[in-house]
Amino acid sequence: MIFLLLSVLSSSVIFVIFKLYNRFGINTLQAIIFNYFFAFSAGLLVDDQLFDFQRIPTESWFPGTVILGFMFIAVFYLAAITTQRSGLSVVSVATKMSVAIPVLFGIFLYNESTGFIKVTGIVCALVAVYLTSIKKREGIKIRKRNLIFPLLVFFGSGIIDTTLKYLETTYVAETDVAVFSSTIFGIAGIIGTGILIFQGVQGKLRLQFKNLLGGIALGIPNFGSIYFLVLALRSGGVESSTIFPLNNVAIVMISTFLGILLFRERMLKKNWIGIGLAVVSIILIATSEEWMN
């Protein structure tokens, strides 16, 4: 469980950094693109092997990293559009509720365990994510013409987690976890650089040093969030249908507390109910396999 905890903490730090982006006026797109290269570099430092650029394209998992690299950029872009049109709460819910996709994938494809306790915990986790993410009394309001964007974020985020699970189970050797994680970020960075070049050709690109600093700050925790999640998935003893909901609901819970402590965010009654359900879901999911034995 230590790897899962490290992944949760890394993802929670990402939340804090994104909040600071707004405070310091950092261009989020540029910072995220820069971050991919620093996340790639972090993987090189973690990896015990000498990084062989010529070997990477020959690896069986390489096509999957290309897909994931593209998905990273695409989901980020869709999340940005969703935020602009429907608000941050909608993005948060769509991203975290997507945990249902890899959970179903684990249950049906890998025949992972189910049971009343586990299913109840997963349902509680989904409700907790919703209640904790809504920061307005009136809840979520989405215009019909904008509904496609949170749906794409939902499916895109779920596909990313599901693809990670499939690749690490089927293709990634134990010694290749770091280089596998690094390659995903490297490809995302290359695709992102193409976007910046396109903006430059259009005359819309304005590079600033603070955006580079924002990318440096984000790079290490971003790499950690993926690297430690992959290690948690392959550590054995805990099923992916247990790890993914625990990961998501714990991120929501810790991020919420960090928002209160560091940014004095106000909590509604339903947010506190969501926190309570998050605790209940973590207990139920974490102990479900013991109840079944």
The dihedrals phi and psi of 185, each to the nearest 5 degrees, come to -70, -35
Quote the CA–CA distance of 32 and 108 in Å, as a whole number: 34
Compute the average pLDDT of residues 6-28: 90
Quote the CA–CA distance of 208 and 196 in Å, as a whole number: 13
Q: Can you give the pTM of this predicted structure?
A: 0.89
183 neighbors 171 (Cβ within 8 angstroms): no
Tens of pLDDT, residue by residue over 139-157, are 667 777 778 988 999 999 9
195 neighbors 33 (Cβ within 8 angstroms): yes
Residue 290 identity (one-letter amino acid) = E
Quote the CA–CA distance of 42 and 5 in Å, as a whole number: 19
The set of residues, in sequence order, having a beta carbon less than 8 Å from that of 58 and lying 6+ positions away, is none
- Per DSSP, 50 falls in state P
Quote the CA–CA distance of 284 and 117 in Å, as a whole number: 6
Tens of pLDDT, residue by residue over 171-205, are 998 889 999 999 999 999 999 999 999 999 999 88
224 neighbors 177 (Cβ within 8 angstroms): no
Per-residue pLDDT at 125: 92
Find where tokens 């990402």 sit. Answer: 14
Quote the CA–CA distance of 24 and 19 in Å, as a whole number: 9
Quote the CA–CA distance of 113 and 290 in Å, as a whole number: 11
Under the banding of pLDDT at 50, 70 and 90, the label for residue 290 is low
Per-residue pLDDT at 113: 82
Residues of the chain with pLDDT > 70, as a percent, come to 96
Quote the CA–CA distance of 34 and 28 in Å, as a whole number: 10
Going by C-alpha positions, the residue among 19, 4, 144, 23 that lies closest to residue 92 is: 19
Task: Dig out the tokens for 71 from the structure.
Answer: 């998905």
Compute the average pLDDT of residues 49-77: 89
Per-residue pLDDT at 190: 95
Quote the CA–CA distance of 185 and 69 in Å, as a whole number: 6
SS3 61: coil
Tens of pLDDT, residue by residue over 69-114, are 999 999 988 887 887 787 777 788 888 889 999 999 998 888 888 8
Task: Quote the radius of gyration of the chain (alpha carbons, Å).
Answer: 19
Residue 95: alpha-carbon gap to chain centroid:
8
User: Per-residue DSSP letters for 74-129?
Assistant: HHHHHHHHHHHHH-HHHHHHHHHHTTHHHHHHHHHHS-----HHHHHHHHHHHHHH
